[in-house]
């Protein structure tokens, strides 16, 4: 049997320098969110198949890595056609809903949760799209007020400002909308409620195919041309200085007045918590793909990149599907892999590399006494805060030294029997 040395397609190996970057970003995420009162929780990487395919995960439900039943249960499954009883989690929100439904009596209210972990999607791998990747989520469960959205946006903007300032990025945009505004606009244009999901799928492509492309997509989906025309005309009425309330009063009247008022309050309040370069913008074209969102939705972008780096929203009805008891919920998912990719592209340098890094390369003929002396010296260096690596001196010493220097070592010292330490 021939063994394969490359990882499974859509999954990655990481070099030491990659792991330093990833761990640094994770540390900043944990440290920043902790200052806002978020506490880290953990959920299993595998979930019951019923939970994953329970029509709460949107398009992700088509991408489940299913896990076969075992033993006799598999034999029974072969007869019924039900071969899987578990699946790898495709996000962290569904596991959180199950977690809260199971443990709510032991949890504070509201719960301010931070989750960090790998997720798996049976997707087509391409640049920036993986089958296994790390997700970072913050969620507030039990707070139905706009305070949850304000806290989530403020905390995430603070975290991103801290991370991206290391590569000179200080400006980014938080796009904000509300599903209630989306529905009011669709109703005002003349679409039937059963058409809304298809309408929003078409609208979600606005930044890629433009208004004419959205109109054509709506008509191709069977929508009346006059309804499509009215819908597209609504977005043309958005003025640069518009607040959510001003736009909605002009376009959809009282149908979304409450949602618009809340959006303006969220943007104004969150804006007082963010750095000068952070721009909060009402964006009536923002959809977010998940059908489980019930209210506010938000997404963060950086100029020059054609993808978002974070997104989320309010999903007040999901918890009740698991427990039978409704609980308001709102969350933000951070695009960890995309953030890491941007930092690498911009030549990120480890700011934590301030501690001196020393390597001692010991010649095999140095003798046992010299070897003990080296380890004793290394212990003293570490006690003074240095990073120290002791290694045998290789025959290709030049390559060994170059590799260590590339890895961030400030001093590489070759040690022979007569070397002074």
pLDDT per position as a tens digit, 29-68: 999 999 999 999 999 999 999 999 877 666 778 889 999 8
pLDDT, position 349: 82
Give pTM, 2 decimals: 0.88
Quote the mean pLDDT of the chain: 90
16-345 has which CATH code?
Answer: 3.30.930.10
Which ranges of the chain have pLDDT less than 50?
none
Distances (CA, A) of 206 to 20, 105, 160, 222, 265: 38, 44, 26, 18, 26
H or E segment to which residue 295 belongs: none
Chain position carrying tokens 């006059």: 226
Strands of 302-410, DSSP E:
308-314, 329-334, 357-362, 387-392
Q: What are the tokens at 317?
A: 């009805």
Distances (CA, A) of 10 to 14, 132, 320: 13, 7, 34
Domain segments of the chain as ranges: 16-345, 357-415
pLDDT per position as a tens digit, 333-385: 999 999 999 999 998 887 766 678 999 999 999 989 999 999 999 999 999 99
pLDDT, position 84: 87
pLDDT, position 58: 66
pLDDT, position 184: 93
């Amino acid at each position: 049997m021939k063994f394969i040395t490359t990882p499974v397609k859509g999954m990655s190996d990481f070099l030491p320098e990659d792991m330093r970057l990833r761990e640094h970003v994770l540390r900043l995420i944990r440290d920043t969110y902790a200052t806002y009162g978020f506490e880290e929780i953990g959920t299993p990487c595998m979930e019951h198949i019923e939970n994953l395919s329970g029509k709460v995960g949107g398009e992700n439900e088509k991408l489940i890595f299913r896990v076969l039943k075992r033993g006799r249960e598999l034999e029974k499954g072969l007869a019924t056609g039900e071969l899987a009883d578990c699946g790898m989690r495709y996000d962290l929100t569904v596991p959180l809903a199950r977690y809260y439904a199971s443990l709510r009596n032991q949890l504070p209210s509201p719960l301010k949760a931070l989750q960090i972990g790998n997720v798996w999607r049976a997707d087509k791998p391409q640049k920036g799209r993986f089958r296994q990747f790390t997700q970072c989520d913050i969620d507030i469960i039990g707070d139905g007020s706009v305070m949850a959205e304000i806290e989530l946006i403020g905390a995430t903007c603070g975290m991103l400002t801290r991370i991206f300032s290391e590569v000179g990025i200080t400006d980014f945009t938080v796009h904000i909308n509300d599903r209630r505004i989306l529905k009011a606009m669709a109703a005002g244009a003349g679409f039937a409620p059963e058409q809304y999901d298809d309408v929003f799928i078409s609208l979600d492509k606005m930044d890629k195919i433009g208004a004419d492309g959205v109109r054509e997509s709506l008509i191709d989906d069977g929508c009346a041309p006059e309804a499509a025309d009215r819908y597209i005309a609504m977005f043309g009425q958005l003025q640069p200085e518009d607040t959510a309330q001003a736009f909605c009063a002009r376009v959809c009247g009282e149908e979304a007045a409450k949602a618009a008022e809340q959006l303006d309050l969220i943007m104004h309040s969150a804006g007082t918590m963010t750095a000068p370069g952070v721009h909060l913008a009402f964006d009536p074209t923002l959809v977010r793909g998940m059908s489980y969102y019930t209210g506010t939705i938000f997404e963060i972008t950086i100029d020059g990149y054609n993808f978002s780096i974070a997104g989320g929203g309010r999903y007040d009805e999901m918890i009740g599907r698991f427990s039978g008891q409704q609980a308001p919920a709102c969350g933000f998912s951070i695009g960890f892999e995309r953030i890491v990719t941007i930092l690498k592209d911009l030549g990120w340098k480890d700011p934590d590399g301030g501690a001196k890094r020393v390597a001692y390369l010991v010649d095999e003929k140095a003798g046992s006494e010299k070897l003990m002396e080296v380890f004793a010296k290394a212990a003293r260096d570490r006690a003074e805060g240095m990073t120290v690596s002791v290694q045998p001196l290789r025959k290709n010493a030049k390559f060994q030294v170059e590799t260590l220097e590339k890895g961030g070592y400030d001093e590489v010292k070759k040690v022979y029997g007569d070397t002074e330490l």
